[in-house]
């Protein structure tokens, strides 16, 4: 007999669709509603079988135990996160690593005052990969921690970099694939502990559709010189038609590795490797968020309040299994 966790989804795009599917795989979860800035659009989406309301319908929202925020990190969550944390326990996948601490503090202040629980930056990176970095660092003191994304032959799609290209004047559509450099992975796996800069670990491949009459040379230069996004990397740009982009490059595959490398004792090699393969990056993110919704309800039931990162939440709180089952089956 499970204690049902009632869920509201806020914001309905790729991750929101993933949450609907993830909830169906968790027998203790019940989706009660979706809130969106474009409810008419969401009501017509296939697979939506629950009531859809405008984003400010707090009366309906409060029928849920936990709201899973599926809006964009760049512009939506900094506003929506603190707004909803005043009213309900929340989960979000805020993914701007460099702004994660100010975002956490803003959420902690609001949720602490409101008496709610907000689990922030819950996805795979940031998220489960962050947890592996902490574990590697704690278990192998002095270790170096490396992260690789796009290990397979086709690399992995980066939503943020694709979005950055789409904002260039003259670009109609774009997808960006990140490729890890195999020699760098091998060097790390061998325990050499190399000094690697960003451009030594990854290269970037862009598939770009331009508007009629656009200057492809100028667009290519702008992509390659974009600081933070492309400038430190070898970047290859392919100009393709919309049909080719839609036919060949429409999936959401992504994968990655976290490797902690160091020594124990007097210099014995110690290596921890954690690999994820996701055919659907948004569905993977959604699965991780849904497990944390269970934890948020448990924390709230203990009268905990404020913001929590993935570091602060006991793994047993994520699981549908009882403590006894966990110990007998998983320990
Ligand atoms: N931490 C991690 O590991 C991780 C991994 C993947 C993604 N993420 C985060 O997840 C966020 C959401 O990703 P996503 O792929 O779901 O973004 P998305 O598809 O662009 O959706 C973002 C929001 O845009 C609105 N929207 C979506 N489609 C629309 C349309 N056709 N017309 C009008 N509005 C539309 C929706 O809000 P409304 O319903 O309110 O209109 C939706 O919540 C990303 O920004 C990223 O930060 C994190």
- 211: confidence class by pLDDT, cuts 50, 70, 90: very high
Q: Ligand 1: does its nearest atom lie under 6 Å from the Cβ of 36?
A: yes
Query: Is the link from the previous residue into 244 a cis peptide, with omega within 30 of 0?
Result: no
CB 116 within 8 A of CB 305: yes
- Nearest residue (CA) to ligand 1, atom 15: 14
Q: Does the structural domain 128-280 have CATH classification 3.40.50.620?
A: no
Domain ranges of the chain: 5-126+282-330, 128-280
Say which residues have a Cβ less than 8 Å from residue 248's Cβ, sequence separation at least 6: 240
- Alpha helices (H) in the chain, listed in sequence order: 14-24, 39-43, 58-61, 77-85, 100-114, 128-139, 159-166, 182-189, 198-201, 216-224, 242-248, 281-301, 323-330
State the Cα–Cα distance between residues 161 and 167, nearest whole angstrom.
Answer: 10
- CA 191 to ligand 1 center in whole angstroms: 38
Give the C-alpha separation, 92 to 95, whole Å: 9
Measure 100 CA to ligand 1 centroid, in angstroms.
Answer: 18
Percent of residues, the chain, with pLDDT higher than 70: 100
User: Which ligand 1 atom minimizes the distance to the CA of 18?
Assistant: 16
Please state, rounded to an integer, the average pLDDT across all residues of the chain.
96
Q: Mark out the alpha helices in 86-155 (DSSP H runs).
A: 100-114, 128-139
Local confidence band at 251 (pLDDT 50, 70, 90 cut-offs): confident
Return the percentage of the chain with pLDDT > 90, whole number: 92
Shortest-distance atom of ligand 1 to CA 42: 39
Query: Of 18-22, 248-252, 268-272, which gets the smallest average pLDDT?
Result: 248-252
Q: Residue of the nearest CA to atom 30 in ligand 1? A: 13
- pLDDT tens for residues 39-91? 999 999 999 999 999 999 999 999 999 999 999 988 899 999 999 999 999 99
- Which pLDDT score, from 0 to 100, does residue 248 have? 87
Q: What is the mean pLDDT of residues 209-236?
A: 95
Check if 34 has its Cβ closer than 6 Å to any atom of ligand 1.
Answer: no
Q: What is the pLDDT of residues 82-92, one digit of tens each?
A: 999 999 999 99
Q: Give the model's pLDDT for residue 159.
A: 80
d(CA 70, ligand 1 centre) in Å:
6
Each residue's pLDDT tens digit, 144-153? 999 999 998 8
- What local confidence, expressed as pLDDT, does residue 108 receive? 98
Contacts with 315 (C-beta within 8 Å, 6 or more apart), sequence order: none
**According to the model, what pLDDT value does residue 1 have?**
57
Which residue minimizes the CA distance to atom 2 of ligand 1?
A: 123
CATH annotation of 5-126+282-330: 3.40.50.720
């Amino acid at each position: 007999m499970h204690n049902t966790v009632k869920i509201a989804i806020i914001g309905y795009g790729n991750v929101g669709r993933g949450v609907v599917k993830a909830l169906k795989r968790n027998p203790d979860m019940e989706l009660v509603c979706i809130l969106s800035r474009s409810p008419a659009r969401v009501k017509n989406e296939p697979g939506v079988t629950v009531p859809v309301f405008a984003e400010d319908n707090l009366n309906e929202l409060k029928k849920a135990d936990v709201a899973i925020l599926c809006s964009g990190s760049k512009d939506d969550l900094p506003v929506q996160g603190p707004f909803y944390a005043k009213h309900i326990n929340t989960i979000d996948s805020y993914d701007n690593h460099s702004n994660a601490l100010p975002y956490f503090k803003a959420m902690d202040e609001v949720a602490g005052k409101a008496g709610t629980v907000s689990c922030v930056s819950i996805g795979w990176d940031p998220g489960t990969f962050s947890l592996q970095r902490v574990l590697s660092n704690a278990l192998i003191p002095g270790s170096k921690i490396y992260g690789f994304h796009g290990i397979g032959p086709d690399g992995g799609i980066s939503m943020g970099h694709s979005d950055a290209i789409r904002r260039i004047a003259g670009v109609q559509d774009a997808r960006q694939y990140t490729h890890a450099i195999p020699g760098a992975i091998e060097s790390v796996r061998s325990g050499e502990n190399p000094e690697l800069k960003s451009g030594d670990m990854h290269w970037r491949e862009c598939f770009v559709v331009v508007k009629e009459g656009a200057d492809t040379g100028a667009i290519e230069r702008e992509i390659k010189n974009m600081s933070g996004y492309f400038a430190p990397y070898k970047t290859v740009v392919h100009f393709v038609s919309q049909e080719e982009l839609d036919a060949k490059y429409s999936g959401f595959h992504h994968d990655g590795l976290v490797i902690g490398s160091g020594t124990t004792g007097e210099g014995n090699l110690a290596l921890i490797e954690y690999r994820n393969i996701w055919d659907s990056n948004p569905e993977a993110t959604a699965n991780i968020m849904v497990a944390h919704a269970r934890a948020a309800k448990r924390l709230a039931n203990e009268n905990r309040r404020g913001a929590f990162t993935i570091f602060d939440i006991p793994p047993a709180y994520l699981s549908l299994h009882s403590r006894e089952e966990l110990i007998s089956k998983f320990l």
